[in-house]
C-alpha cells in the first residue's frame, strides 16, 4: 500500500507523450544523441561538453487538418497546462497571428534536466520537443542547435516537425 501511495498520479508531460504516442493525429519520435553523427565531425571542447550533457530528444507532433480544429485547441490547451503545472519555467514566448512558440526549462541554473520547445500553428498543428539531459545550461542548448546545423541529419525522420514549421 505504501508503494501505491508514494507513486504520484498527477499529470505530467512525460505521461502525455506516452498516452499520445499511438493516438490518431499524433506522431512521436525518440532520438538518442547519436543522431547528430558527431563521430564524423571535429568537435570543440564546448561542443563535446554540450553533447555529453544531452541524453535524448523526444518529439511529439499533432497534425492538424480542417476537420480536427476542436481537438487541436483541446490538445494545445492540455500541453500549455502541463507546462504550467509540471514545474517548468517559461524562458521565452512568441505569439503571432499564425501561431506561437515557447521555450521552457525544468531544473535550475547550471543543473537543467529538460528543455521543452512548444510550437503551434492552427493550420498544421503543434509540436513539443523535449531535450533531456543532465546539468545542461542554456549555452549547451545553443551549442546543440549549432551542432544540428553542422551535422548531416536524416531529415526524413523530422518531416512531421518540418511541415509544422512551414507555411
Q: pLDDT 10s per residue in the chain (167 long)?
A: 444 444 557 889 999 999 998 899 998 888 877 666 666 678 889 888 888 888 888 999 999 888 998 999 999 999 999 999 888 988 889 988 888 989 888 887 778 899 898 999 888 899 998 989 888 887 887 787 677 667 655 555 556 555 555 54
pLDDT of residue 1: 45
What are the grid coordinates assigned to 112, written together? 537543467
Q: Which domain holds residue 63?
A: 8-165
On whether residue 161 sits in a domain, the answer given is yes
On whether residue 49 sits in a domain, the answer given is yes
Report the alpha-carbon distance of residue 96 to residue 160 in Å, rounded: 21
On whether residue 106 sits in a domain, the answer given is yes
CB 161 within 8 A of CB 147: no
On whether residue 66 sits in a domain, the answer given is yes
On whether residue 157 sits in a domain, the answer given is yes
Instruction: Kindly tell me the sign of the dihedral angle through the C-alpha atoms of 50, 139, 134, 92.
Output: negative
CB 47 within 8 A of CB 9: no
The enclosing H or E element of 117 equals strand 111-121
Structural domain count of the chain: 1
On whether residue 1 sits in a domain, the answer given is no
Phi, psi of 87 (to 5 degrees): 60, 35
CB 28 within 8 A of CB 138: no
Beta bridge partners, 95, equal 100
On whether residue 14 sits in a domain, the answer given is yes
Amino acid at each position: 500500500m505504501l508503494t501505491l501511495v508514494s507513486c504520484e498520479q498527477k499529470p505530467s508531460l512525460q505521461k502525455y507523450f506516452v498516452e499520445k504516442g499511438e493516438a490518431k493525429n499524433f506522431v512521436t519520435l525518440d532520438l538518442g544523441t547519436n543522431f547528430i553523427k558527431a563521430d564524423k565531425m571535429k568537435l570543440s571542447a564546448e561542443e563535446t561538453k554540450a553533447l555529453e550533457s544531452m541524453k535524448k530528444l523526444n518529439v511529439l507532433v499533432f497534425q492538424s487538418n480542417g476537420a480536427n480544429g476542436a481537438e487541436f485547441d483541446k490538445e494545445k490547451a492540455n500541453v500549455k497546462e502541463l507546462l504550467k503545472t509540471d514545474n517548468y519555467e517559461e524562458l521565452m514566448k512568441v505569439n503571432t497571428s499564425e501561431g506561437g512558440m515557447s521555450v521552457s526549462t525544468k531544473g535550475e541554473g547550471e543543473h537543467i534536466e529538460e528543455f521543452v520547445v512548444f510550437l503551434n500553428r492552427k493550420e498544421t498543428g503543434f509540436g513539443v520537443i523535449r531535450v533531456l539531459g543532465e546539468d545542461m545550461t542554456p549555452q549547451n542548448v545553443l551549442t546543440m542547435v549549432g551542432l544540428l546545423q553542422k551535422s548531416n541529419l536524416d531529415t526524413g525522420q523530422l518531416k512531421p516537425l518540418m511541415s509544422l514549421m512551414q507555411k
